[in-house]
Structure 1
């Protein structure tokens, strides 16, 4: 069997009382039950902690060393579970990851409302060019993700889908159009972020697809389009709201399918304020609760 906090408390009670009978009385349990708990702990560790006889009880050298560690462990758990001290660790910043664009034009509203409601608890936006925006490796507590991403051990809330736009060089003939279709981009090179991009060749018919040019980051993607070498891009509309870039124009795409957007967090959450973040993101974006 495995040992738990109950076994540590039992051992410490015996060590402090100097007798199993007195320790059992303090813990309000029977002496046989306490003896079994001590035996379970020793069996789990594979070492004798207490020398006991009818008239004598003493800690072994291993028991003396283990007592120090057990006391620190129990003190740490008691401090963590002390409601009076919860405010200390609740001030740890809540980290919201995103690969790019966060919540688009609704990002400022989210930050303003969070600051007004939780002035002592910072909400930090963390931009990471990874497929899970830092969620899978623990760098953030929740993440805004676009497209289809599966991460074991997480839960997700569906946010409103985003329309797609074309990113084209300023001064290009396409930039003067009120809207474009995917067919208008055939014959051009489409730049795609190989890690976090939501654009794939499958957006176009198999017999009429543009050339794909891979880039490593959002910044590389913007520079490739702005350079005037004929490259264009396809991206969720949030990009056009938060990534204005010299030399890049955004034009609506009339026939491109929307991009699914998710708020994803670990289950259980790594921060106690994640449930409120989920609620607020749903309110700000107009997503259904639940």
Structure 2
């Protein structure tokens, strides 16, 4: 297990040990992953908890679990380790890519113009578009430098900017009765189950008024499973219009929703120093949205 710079008596190896325990759900498996003994991992975790003054891991049950403090600390530890590793990567010192995360649908219809224009103007800084099934598309964990997110984001330590809004659509089984409708209302979807992507999706039951919510819900963890469940007739879904454009599916029909509020598309970054190219990315994103909407004033983004 590698050592690292110290913060008081704490080193990067303490964070690596904690993250390995969190990922593996076992001190024994974490030790195997880190190629050290189990007592070493236990002592390292204990030292970290003593330094922080909180219990990070609950050892009182048969199945190891993170405490609420451990869950909150996990993202911070992951971001710190990622930043440390990135700073010591000699390849990134020469060509430091700008990593742009998204959970689904990226930048909608503006995705290709953004990537092409960036490559033309800033060939010295590769722009990497990464899909990460996470509510902040890996941003809070330090896996990306910025993220394109949809819907309100409550994660602390993030700075967000609304780039545009898009109309919402219902996603229904292509062979179902709702697929033949020219448009739908939220109430039309309450008779059966609604499929919710609880990991990275922006739709929750709060979209419906209290007392008029769907009869049942089916939860999934990513866009692929969401589409599969809808195509199989297990329920319907709600998403932004970009989903219809970026994720066509033979078994799914997208129908406009008349009464759903528009879905904001955000550019998010962590609060504090970040990749030096972030201001240029934000500027280009604004430029492309303004240009495309000017050239296509009748688009259906909202």
Q: Give the structure-1-normalised TM-score.
A: 0.65
Residue 226 of structure 2 is matched in structure 1 by 221
With over 3 angstroms needed to count, the CA separation of the structure-2 counterparts of 1:114 and 1:134, relative to structure 1, is same
With over 3 angstroms needed to count, the CA separation of the structure-2 counterparts of 1:152 and 1:201, relative to structure 1, is closer
Aligned residues: 201
Deviations 1:130-185 (A, max 9, x none): 11111101100000111121333332222112210000111222111111111111
Residue 117 of structure 1 is matched in structure 2 by 121
SS in 2 for 1:238: helix
Take 1:282 and 1:171, find their aligned partners in 2: how far apart are those partners? 39
1:10-49 matches, within 5 Å, as: none
| Larger deviation, residues 95-104 vs 197-206 | 197-206
With over 3 angstroms needed to count, the CA separation of the structure-2 counterparts of 1:112 and 1:259, relative to structure 1, is same
Matched, 1:158 2:157: no
Take 2:248 and 2:242, find their aligned partners in 1: how far apart are those partners? 11
Residue 131 of structure 1 is matched in structure 2 by 135
Matched, 1:174 2:181: no
SS in 1 for 2:144: coil
Residue 240 of structure 1 is matched in structure 2 by 244
SS in 2 for 1:149: coil
Instruction: Kindly report structure 1 stretches of 4+ aligned residues shifted beyond 4 Å.
Output: none
Deviations 1:198-237 (A, max 9, x none): 21222223222212111111111000001133x1100111
Residue 277 of structure 2 is matched in structure 1 by 273
Superposed CA RMSD: 2.0
Matched, 1:195 2:199: yes
CA contact (8 A) 1:97 1:135 kept: yes
CA contact (8 A) 1:160 1:286 kept: no
SS in 1 for 2:156: coil
Q: Work out which of the two has the higher radius of gyration on C-alpha atoms and give 1 or 2.
A: 1
CA contact (8 A) 1:135 1:141 kept: yes
With over 3 angstroms needed to count, the CA separation of the structure-2 counterparts of 1:183 and 1:152, relative to structure 1, is closer
Gaps of 5+ in 2: 1-86, 292-302
With over 3 angstroms needed to count, the CA separation of the structure-2 counterparts of 1:203 and 1:152, relative to structure 1, is closer
* 1:262 pairs with one of 257, 262, 266: 266
